[in-house]
Structure 1
């Protein structure tokens, strides 16, 4: 707990502050200002601060110690957000879990983070040997006492984010308060007056990098229970949204809404995107039709390096993910761990002030995700393959694990997907590598659209090099994606097998 006489401005100008202390300062200085809107519900900063205290007191009453994980399971809701923030006030570690995981996976996550308590919605009352509190009965559980101050330092854990599981069993990514402070401190001052539209789940790091800075600066969050393009547009116009973080598939669905152009979105000053490949054509469409800056960020939940592309300023670089942010060290390495010369292809590694502590309880996985330069500086392996151009802009070619080695040649699925997406009857697509007796691996495509697979396959292969050609093509009703829009390529491989 911080100095109750410190102003928000002083905290934000310092070297380190915690989010609970910032919210307390905003409650003193602008207590009547809305902090979070959720449907017909709304909570001011004064109410938010009082509720965080009540949650922190109840956690301490129930014996949940500072530093313990507090697991939260369910879709986004106001109560979900309150428990997340209240756990931080108690000095605990927020552990938001993805409802899309199986009951066995969820139980394993609760055990992995050793959470003594689980908050859950009605649809996810999983069997775990810990205390459970239903989110819709939160008022019955709350206490009215004053919590004991629970100071935290920069390296103390803030939250544990479980990886999306696109490559297998989710790993707990431990992010310290210092990492979240960097996210808050580097946000533009305009976040203090922002109305931030939040349409991705609260268990996703993609969400938290806009949700947390908005509250840290004293802005207002409009939290949506789920994403639906028309509802997003209605809510954005109603609340005069000014900032948003969306993933590419959400931009795609919003821009495809036949009524998009009738909505007044002139209040927007900043739209950001991250988490999945964002096509140059879609960026160009957003630039042309949606007011305000469009900024793409590229980085990892684990931290490491971050690049930024201000699309409005660089319309000729929309095929890239931009340049490293100031203070970010991003390099490319080969399979032996040596840096590659400028202009050559390599695996992306990054270093910054915003880096995970490690994977919870998985020292070997943490080591595998780490690279050290000759001077001994620690970098995070991003797992992506890329190339820097002469101006320092980074083009991503693919995930390293998705690289297809066919007959000894490197085949990048993103190159094939770009061709496949160019067919007029293809609305969405993905390419994966599958085992081949003849070539070792061979590319297979999946698409959503109206055309016939055989015709589209011939059309694509006529435009691809001999080593790139698709061995097969399948039409699907929709591609499997996780909650933040990443295609689950593992599921596609399993489906093909």
Structure 2
């Protein structure tokens, strides 16, 4: 069974039920599938290679969902591109994975590099950046009523290539298989006990967090709701007004929602699943969210290489204080082990690297066999996260083994930021670390050693980096050092850097 078959089955069962709802109106299951089939037939004609790659660079809109389903129906490989990425990052990803087609909103076409053999089709309506470009709406009209050739690839084949990392060297393109997607769909349905009346508010980008929930919700006959706005006061209003049953938010956005003066006293009786992920949530905020919204707060733990649902903590489990520091227990189709540096499993309660096995796990990195080999040990995927399993089987994240900063629900690799900072001519050396932050979980901070006589300011350097990277990766603070602290082998000591920044911030706050 293909991942798209779950949606086709719902369309057969609920043809007149609303599948997609938002500022553009509504689409029933029958209408959504008809448009997606037309899109798939168009894609098959434009990309004859059955293993061709098709990218999407778009906001959350109807065209994005139709194109995604069309790619799956066509049997081609989906390549999601992040609209928040800098142009250089998108160019690097496109040239690395060489898609034959990109469907892009008019606002983002300028981010796509000119590449030989690449077709660009405009997705969402908007001002045409180039009148020669095709419009998806026109193609759907021309292909209306047409059905794609049925394609059934082996379940081990790649369904999607998602990027992790980015501005330096070749990005890592995670190959997610049909089998892996099926495992994710089943795992979410089982963990959340999803029902036919689910109304899921898609606040996260479809290219990232929302895609993990899109198919489980549609598989059960639920409705995906695209909000007209994503500001905290708007979300508070939409969650109540539209009787939302489930949504996925980063902790930072939940914190902002809790600060809204109207959030208390509203009718939250429809809400069943307020899911946070991608970053830890402070225990005091967990308790506050439960007090405001009721027993609905849940968390999912995963990563691109084993997407979204390695472990899950249900709302009922999260109500028990002893479970709040955990990310729940491994999901139904996934095994989790804690391994030491030699690859041996440790006893319950002992810290080590969180490792994963099961259908959810990626098949490897696109065209990077060496990095693929490094990611596995004895058949286990190495997550790079440190933690332990307690005696009850609950997973606790303790530290990250890989040097990654999780800020506002996004992964930031320090090397990417360090390379950007280092491009400034006044910078001699730099180091980037994550500093605990009450709003972001972790905030990106840079430690910088300048050339003698430089008058470069913190504001100027941050603005310089912002011209290279997106806002998530741009440092929240820059701290100047006469000399960066170093270890005995002359490497920058990030532990010392972090301690010194902590000290400075503490003195500033005193």
> TM-score scaled to structure 2, two decimals?
0.75
Name the structure 2 match of 1:77: 61
Could you tell me how far apart the structure 2 residues matched to 1:86 and 1:79 are? 10
What is the DSSP-based 3-state SS (H/G/I as helix, E as strand, rest coil) of the residue aligned with 2:322? Answer: helix
What is the DSSP-based 3-state SS (H/G/I as helix, E as strand, rest coil) of the residue aligned with 1:76? Answer: coil
Counterpart check, 1:437 vs 2:425: no
CA-to-aligned-CA distance 1:375-409 (integer Å, 9 cap, x gap): xxx211111111333433332122112499xxxxx
Name the structure 1 match of 2:147: 146
Which of 211, 216, 219 is the equivalent residue of 1:213?
A: 216
Name the structure 2 match of 1:386: 387
Q: 1:438 to 1:114 in 2, by over 3 A?
A: closer
Could you tell me how far apart the structure 2 residues matched to 1:431 and 1:52 are? 40
Could you tell me how far apart the structure 2 residues matched to 1:340 and 1:167 are? 35
What is the DSSP-based 3-state SS (H/G/I as helix, E as strand, rest coil) of the residue aligned with 2:4? Answer: helix
Could you tell me how far apart the structure 2 residues matched to 1:446 and 1:224 are? 43
Counterpart check, 1:202 vs 2:187: no
Could you tell me how far apart the structure 1 residues matched to 2:70 and 2:155 are? 18
Unmatched 5+ stretches in structure 2: 126-134, 406-432, 448-483
Alignment check: 8 A CA contact 1:31 1:45 kept = yes
Shift of 1:31: 1.2
Name the structure 2 match of 1:315: 321
Q: 1:437 to 1:221 in 2, by over 3 A?
A: same
What is the DSSP-based 3-state SS (H/G/I as helix, E as strand, rest coil) of the residue aligned with 2:385? Answer: strand
Name the structure 2 match of 1:367: 373
Shift of 1:208: 1.6
How do 1:160-171 residues align onto structure 2 when only pairs under 5 Å count?
160-163=161-164, 165=166, 170-171=171-172
Counterpart check, 1:33 vs 2:85: no
Could you tell me how far apart the structure 2 residues matched to 1:164 and 1:395 are? 25
Counterpart check, 1:132 vs 2:132: no
Alignment check: 8 A CA contact 2:92 2:171 kept = no
Could you tell me how far apart the structure 2 residues matched to 1:255 and 1:454 are? 26
Name the structure 1 match of 2:427: none
Shift of 1:262: 3.8
Could you tell me how far apart the structure 2 residues matched to 1:119 and 1:326 are? 35
What is the DSSP-based 3-state SS (H/G/I as helix, E as strand, rest coil) of the residue aligned with 1:387? Answer: strand
What is the DSSP-based 3-state SS (H/G/I as helix, E as strand, rest coil) of the residue aligned with 2:175? Answer: strand
Could you tell me how far apart the structure 1 residues matched to 2:441 and 2:91 are? 34
What is the DSSP-based 3-state SS (H/G/I as helix, E as strand, rest coil) of the residue aligned with 1:192? Answer: coil
Counterpart check, 1:67 vs 2:51: yes
Unmatched 5+ stretches in structure 1: 1-16, 373-377, 405-412, 460-497
Counterpart check, 1:275 vs 2:269: no
Could you tell me how far apart the structure 2 residues matched to 1:160 and 1:446 are? 40
Name the structure 2 match of 1:51: 35
Greater alpha carbon shift after TM alignment, 437-446 vs 318-327: 437-446
Could you tell me how far apart the structure 2 residues matched to 1:256 and 1:166 are? 35
Alignment check: 8 A CA contact 1:23 1:216 kept = yes
> TM-score scaled to structure 1, two decimals?
0.77
Shift of 1:240: 0.6
Alignment check: 8 A CA contact 1:20 1:89 kept = yes
Could you tell me how far apart the structure 2 residues matched to 1:454 and 1:266 are? 42
What is the DSSP-based 3-state SS (H/G/I as helix, E as strand, rest coil) of the residue aligned with 2:69? Answer: helix
How do 1:173-322 residues align onto structure 2 when only pairs under 5 Å count?
173-186=174-187, 187-188=189-190, 190-204=194-208, 206-224=209-227, 227-303=230-306, 306-313=310-317, 314-322=320-328
Could you tell me how far apart the structure 2 residues matched to 1:175 and 1:243 are? 25
RMSD, aligned α-carbons = 3.0
Alignment check: 8 A CA contact 1:255 1:286 kept = yes
Shift of 1:77: 1.3
Could you tell me how far apart the structure 2 residues matched to 1:207 and 1:382 are? 21
Q: How many residues were matched structurally?
A: 419
Name the structure 2 match of 1:110: 94
CA-to-aligned-CA distance 1:289-320 (integer Å, 9 cap, x gap): 11343221212221188222235332222122
Could you tell me how far apart the structure 2 residues matched to 1:230 and 1:394 are? 34
How do 1:317-332 residues align onto structure 2 when only pairs under 5 Å count?
317-332=323-338
What is the DSSP-based 3-state SS (H/G/I as helix, E as strand, rest coil) of the residue aligned with 1:191? Answer: coil
Counterpart check, 1:18 vs 2:2: yes
Name the structure 1 match of 2:478: none
